Amino acid sequence: MFRQSPRTTERCDAGFTLIEMLVGLALMGMAAALLLSGLRMAGFVSLRERASATGLDEVIAAQRLLRTGLERLRPIARIDRAEPVVEFGGNDIRLTYIAPPADREAPNALQRFLLMRNANGDLVLYNTSTRRLQVDPSGHDLVGWSPTTVLRGISRLSISYRGVPITGGDRTWLTFWWDRGRPPELIRIRVDFPVGDTRQWPDLLIRPRATTTTTCLIDGSTGRCGEGR
C-alpha cells in the first residue's frame, strides 16, 4: 500500500502559497474595478435618461442658441432720427435685434431677429436678412421672416432689460426698451411651463458684448436701416 511521506503531508496542510494569494488578490481587485466601472456607467446612463425625461437637454440647447445670438447683437444706429437710436427694441413678451447670421448661413448679410411666443405656445426665433427692405422690420407683419422653433409648449415668456430708465435714476430691471441710444446692459429671459410639465428654465442672463453704436445704411425710399458699415 502506498503511504504519503511526511514531507508531502506537511506541504498539503500548509494551505495557499504566497504567490497563490497574490494572484487571488489581483483577480479580486480586477473584478472589483470592473464592477465599479459598470456601476459608474450605469449611473451616467441613468442620469442621462433622467435629464432627457425632464427636458433638460432641450432647455440647454434653447438657452445656448439665444445666448449666442444676443451676445453678438449689433447695436446699429439709425442716422435718420434727430437723436440716433439703435436697431434694438422689445417689451416683456417680444424682442427684436440685429446680429450676424448663424455659421451655416454665412456669409449672408446681417440678420434681423425676433423672439416671441407664438399662438401655439411655442418659443420661436424669427429671422430675415437686413437686405430685405420689403419686410416689416418690427416683426408685426411676419411675411418674409423665417421661423425657428426654440422650445415647444411654453405657457409664458417674460423678458426684461437692465439699465437706466429713460426718465433717469438708478439702474433697474425694465419691461420696455425702445428707441434708446444703446442696448441694455443685461437681458433676462424667463420661460414658464404648463402645470405638470417637469421641465425647468433657469433665469437666462445675457450681457451683449457690443455696447457702442455703429452707423447703418438707410434706404432713401423706406427709411429703413440696412447692413452696418
In order, the DSSP letters of 127-186 are EEETT-TTS-TTSSS-TTPEEEEEESS-SEEEEEEEE--TT--S-EEES-B-S-SS--SE
Give the pLDDT confidence score for residue 27 in this predicted structure. 81
Rounded to an integer, the average pLDDT of 99-116 is 79
- What residue spans of the chain are helical by DSSP H? 6-13, 18-53, 56-71
Confidence of residue 147 (pLDDT cuts 50, 70, 90): very high
Give me the mean pLDDT over the 102-109 stretch. Answer: 61
pLDDT in tens, 10-67: 555 556 677 777 877 788 888 777 777 666 665 554 545 554 455 789 999 999 999 9
Largest CA distance in the chain: 123
- Bond into 107 cis (ω within 30): yes
Q: Return all residues near 121 (Cβ < 8 A) that are at least 6 apart.
A: 152, 153, 154, 155
Mean local confidence (pLDDT), 115-120: 96
**Per-residue pLDDT tens over the stretch 65-104:** 999 999 999 988 877 677 778 889 999 999 999 999 876 5
pLDDT, mean of residues 109-135 = 91
For residue 25, count CB atoms less than 10 angstroms from its CB and return exposed for 0-12, middle for 13-18, buried for 19 or more. Answer: exposed
pLDDT at position 222, please? 44
Q: Is the pLDDT of residue 193 over 60?
A: yes
- pLDDT at residue 129 is higher than 50: yes
For residue 21, the SS3 value is: helix
Percent of the chain with pLDDT over 70: 73
Q: Is the model more confident about 216 or about 60?
A: 60
Is residue 212 over pLDDT 90?
A: no
* CA R_g for the chain: 32
| b (16+ CB within 10 A) / e for 116-154 | bbeeeeebbbbbbbbeeeebebebeebeebeeeebbeeb
pLDDT of residue 188: 98
The answer to whether 126 and 141 are in contact (CB under 8 A) is no
